[in-house]
Amino acid sequence: MAREGCLSWLEIDLEAVRHNHRLLCGLLRPPARMFPVVKADAYGHGAVEVARALEKEESTMMCVARVEEALELRRTGITTPLMVFTPPLPPQADAVIAANASISVCAREHIEALASASLKNGRKIRVHLKVDIGMGRLGVQPESAVEMARSIIAMPQLELEGVMSHLPCTDMRSRPMTLGQIKTFKAVCESIASAGISVKYFHTANSSATMDYPEAHFDAVRCGIALYGQYPNAEVEKRLALKPAMSMKTRIVYLKNVPPGTALSYGHTHITSRVSQIATIALGYADGYPRHASNKTVMMVRGRPAAVVGRVCMDQTLLDVTGIPDVSIGDEVLAFGVSNYAVLPAETVASAIGTIGYEMTTRVGKRLPRFYI
């Protein structure tokens, strides 16, 4: 279906993704390389299409969260090296080999599952040892890193390709904490090297660390949200001219004028205080526009903000377009992103409802057609 025939849709600017990739690469401190993150369907942008665009940028390795995501990329012809963030359970170990992917490990059970699959399939598996320096989610403790690294290299079926960690507070004003965690990771790297263990990639930097902490670049950085044109939050210095890659758009399907005192949508959570023009748009929480945006956010109509009024419904939402001239049924509405007449960043909408831009793009519904620019 052509865009003109859609009630609601997404526009994905792949050139914006490539532009952001180049800007981020320009910050790298040698010998660091870029590992773009395309997990969660490339943060909702479409993993296959984004990966194809990034292959033109000669990315060293792309990162996904689960082995199923790696398999999807391989099935669609992506040949760039892939790394899986989530450690494998035994039933998934064979799939790691099928995907020809590297994978993180942080427990003996992960190592044994992969070694068993390697023996069965006759193929070596590349692993990245995850170390916990403060995230508290996955990873061995720093003092156990050398011992675990030795356990990995003792298995000829496995190749210790990398050692990795994750910095939890780089997007906050917590520089002493983050600098201390970077120092801890550096000490882990040095202890592993001093033990005579060869590792190709030490890496811990996310998008905000890539931009604000050059000392965290090591051998590679893993950029996710910045790749798609968003800053992690308002505390990260906007040092790059990032371009938003996703725009969510819809159309007005109905207009009405109502008197003061008119109750709108489920629960009557909004009652008009004046004579108002109300537009119904074909976009709701089933499309990924959050229900808790009710009465809190705006969308752009003819270049002007129009408040979301009443509860966001599954398939429709109401906007107050009072005072916006020449509004008509069929007019394009910008829920977030970029249009010819307005910019409304996803993170601005997210901030109004107490969440983050990551959630705005990853929650988009399947029924919205994507148009790639």
Alpha-carbon gap, residue 313 to 342, rounded angstroms = 25
Task: Work out whether strand 332-338 and strand 246-258 pair parallel, antiparallel, or are unpaired.
Answer: antiparallel
Distance between alpha carbon 224 and the CA centroid of its chain, in Å? 5
- Which DSSP state fits 218? T
C-beta of residue 308 within 8 angstroms of C-beta of residue 318: yes
Asked if 254 and 355 count as a contact pair (C-beta separation under 8 A), the reply is no
Q: 362: phi > 0 → left, psi -120 to 50 → alpha, else beta; which?
A: alpha
266 is catalytic: yes
Catalytic annotation present for 39: yes
Cα separations in angstroms, 83 against 69, 76, 80, 142: 10, 16, 10, 22
- Residue with structure tokens 């970029």? 338
Nearest CA among 171, 187, 183 for reference residue 237:
171
- Catalytic: which of 39, 213, 249, 289? 39
Catalytic residue among 183, 256, 266, 341: 266
**Do strands 62-64 and 33-34 pair parallel, antiparallel, or not at all (unpaired)?**
unpaired
Q: What share of the chain is helix, strand, coil (3-state, %, to 5)?
A: 35, 25, 40
Half-sphere exposure of 79 (CA within 13 A, CB side): 2
Q: What are the catalytic residues?
A: 39, 266
